[in-house]
Structure 1
Amino acid sequence: MTENSSSKRFGYSPAIPIVIPARLNSSRLPGKLILNRTGCPLIAYSIRIARHAARVSDGIIPNVIVASDSDLLIDFAMEEDVETFQSREQHLSGTSRVVEFIDDLARSEILNLAGVIILQADQVGLDPLHLVRVARLLKGKNGEEYMITLSSSLDSLPIKKQLDPHVVKVLVGPDRRVFDFSRDLQLLSKRQTKIMDSTIEMHVGVYGYTGSSLKKISKYGISDRAAQESLEQLSALETDIKVLSLAIPYSAQLLSINTIEDYEHFVEVTANK
């Protein structure tokens, strides 16, 4: 476990670190973050994306932290030269793991945070510049209750994949305001008929919280529907946090790794690069 005592770790101006919550025993594909048929464990990809974003962010993203209950994942993260936080084992979501990390910080450190970006550990194909976009928008919303996320074209996926509950969908209005998240395309399609000029898009596993919105999530916890659908982002909507989604170009590698078939595809794409 890396020490969390430095009051200067986030600098003197409001900063937005990237935190990657990671657990070894994923419910859909246990041990996926240590799968290694590409020359490095899967978790290394999201860490390297986050590190790249920090390097090109002009100081807005000062550092990257992996929060995990697994000694093995902590060791992998330290090999990638990022900070680590040893969390409790039992958490309902990645966000609750990050909230534990925030609660552990010294008061002086918390005051230096404008927000936090949560990057899913299996998000292996994201352009780091999209994380910088999220950070810049969060900085502009400092003091307000906002969550910023990312989404891309759902229509670019085959119909079978669009219907796949592993692919999370998001209902976005014309001003990029998010109205709903769901694994059920049919449910969102019904809601879409009531919201003019809205689109259903593929959600990408990035959650940027302003400091005030993270405090609110920490206070109210995971909502019933969020727990039922296993979608932590629903808690933001259900506590009246404003959610915006930045549109990004579609890429097949934006899909998170949820099944062994997803990983096989990732290995194939990586080998052909």
Structure 2
Amino acid sequence: MSEPVQNNPIRILGLIPARYASKRFPGKPLIDIHGKSMIQRVYEQALKSATLSDVAIATDDDRILEHVRSFGGQVIMTSSNHQSGTDRCAEAAEKLPGFDVIINIQGDEPYIDSRQIDLLGHCFADPQTELATLVKIITSTEELHNINSPKVILNKNSEALYFSRTPIPYLRDKNKDTWLLYHTYYKHIGVYGYRSDVLKKITALPVSLLEKAESLEQLRWLENGYKIKVAITDIETKAIDTPEDLKNILKEKRII
């Protein structure tokens, strides 16, 4: 009797974009968090993922390049002209071929939970999935009306219909302070997965009108007809965007 044919596993590459020139916090990938740099902590957390075949950091700065090499991490040098982490991932993916899916892991979340990466990776078990991201149920009115926290509405197939900085949908007959009592709102968790061929295509698209209006790059993909699969997580990790965020993280004295 012949052996059954085994399905080829999906090869998923985790990429961590890291640039030095941040307006709000220059050099933040190299900041020290309890004895390790932020970028090293993100890299080590990503290595814990059960779905990733490999992990690499994509940077545009020699200081980050040399630092990553010093702790034994895999790093790819990319252009300094990229406008987004997605664009940087696209270039890095070209330099590391052979992967079916690319997952863009935020480089400013030192304690990212590998279960989030796995949840995103599992979306691509469906061969129809082109792009994927995560959302979390919003539980506070303050967060609901925070324009720095993008919201998402979903269709019945768990695909994104639209992203906005304002709460969607608008409950016209209800007081804004009570909206959470009448509808489930979702916050976007900014980690993305892309089929490798789709990543190449979306980064070649011109900036769209909706993207300009909301300053959200994923709207370019929706506006051009791509579907974004959405998985719901109950985990949320803290990002470090400013020196004040760093102070708050250090107060926690959390060590992994």
Q: TM-score range by the shorter chain?
A: 0.7 to 0.9
Check whether the contact 2:120–2:133 (CA below 8 A) recurs between aligned residues: yes
Quote the Cα distance in structure 1 between the aligned partners of 2:183 and 2:172: 6
CA separation of 1:150 and 1:42: change in aligned 2, threshold 3 A: same
Distance in 1 between residues matched to 2:76 and 2:116, nearest whole Å: 24
Q: Distance in 2 between matches of 1:255 and 1:153?
A: 16
2 CA distance for matches of 1:30 and 1:165? 23
CA change 1:100–1:249 in 2 (3 A) is: same
Matched, 1:264 2:253: no
In structure 1, distance between residues paired with 2:172 and 2:250: 36
- Equivalent residue number for residue 97 of structure 1: 88
Distance 1:93 1:192, change over 3 A: farther
Structure 2, gaps ≥5 residues long: 1-7, 174-181
Matches within 5 A, 1:68-217: 68-105=59-96, 109=97, 112-141=98-127, 144=128, 146-155=130-139, 157=140, 159-185=141-167, 188-190=168-170, 199-217=184-202
**TM superposition shift of 1:37:** 4.2
Which residue, 217, 241, 244 being the options, matches 2:226?
Answer: 241
Partner of 2:12: 16
Structure 1, gaps ≥5 residues long: 1-11
Cα deviation code 1:203-252 (max 9, x no counterpart): 2221001123213203314434335544222222222111122111144x
C-alpha deviation, 1:202, in angstroms: 2.0
Q: SS at 1:202's partner residue? A: strand
2: CA distance, partners of 1:78 / 1:123: 20
Using the alignment, how far apart are the partners of 2:247 and 2:144 within structure 1?
19
Is contact 1:67–1:84 with CA below 8 Å preserved after alignment?
A: yes
Identity score, percent: 25
Distance 1:77 1:227 in 2: 34
After superposition, residues 26-65 of structure 1 pair within 5 angstroms as 26-53=22-49, 56-57=50-51, 61-65=52-56
TM-score after normalising by structure 2: 0.81
The one-letter code matched in structure 1 to 2:55 is: V
Does structure 2 retain, via aligned residues, the 8 Å contact 1:145–1:212?
A: no
What is the identity, as a one-letter code, of the residue corresponding to 1:68? T
C-alpha deviation, 1:177, in angstroms: 1.6
Q: Is the 8 A contact 1:25 1:31 kept in 2?
A: yes
CA 1:225–1:249 in 2, change beyond 3 Å: closer, same or farther?
same
C-alpha spacing 1:79/1:89, structure 2 compared with 1 (3 Å)? same
> Which secondary structure state, in structure 2, belongs to the residue aligned with residue 203 of structure 1?
strand
TM-score by length of 1: 0.77
SS in 2 for 1:212: helix
Q: What is the Cα deviation at residue 121 of structure 1?
A: 0.5
Pair member with larger Rg: 2
Name the amino acid aligned to 2:226: I
Secondary structure of 2:108's aligned partner: coil
- Paired residue for 2:203? 218
Distance in 1 of aligned mates of 2:186 and 2:161: 12
Q: Which has the higher helix share?
A: 1
Q: How many residues align?
A: 241
